[in-house]
Structure 1
Amino acid sequence: MAFGNDQNDIQLFKNSLYAVQVGDFPGLRDYADEQVAFQENLPKAVAARILQKFADFREK
């Protein structure tokens, strides 16, 4: 699983099994499986997404 927010993360996303875009950089959308939008407490939102994804993958 990869998290990224900018153009420099495109190759990272291409090589990952699951990619989460942080923020709204338009050039990354095509490579992301999902997005965490900018919000007041972004670190907390990203941490929550990580925990949720691990729980989701564990169930598979």
Structure 2
Amino acid sequence: MRAWKLLGLAGILAGVATGAAVARDERVRRHYDAGEIRERLHKRHDEAVARETPTAPGDQG
């Protein structure tokens, strides 16, 4: 019976820790205004496209 109590306590602690992490991330995310988020997304998109664009064999340099 004691094992079940410990397992339940571990589950509760995991839930609390997850909730705290989500709340922290939400506070950080809400710190940006819409313009900053848009700029960051465009920058990340441009970087991703640049990584996926293959270069021609003679273009290294």
User: TM range, normalised to the smaller chain?
Assistant: 0.3 to 0.5
TM-score normalised according to structure 1 size? 0.34
Q: Which has the higher strand share?
A: 1
In our comparison, the structure showing a higher alpha carbon Rg is: 2
Asked which structure has the greater RCO (Cα within 8 Å, sep 6+), the reply is 1
TM-score normalised according to structure 2 size? 0.33
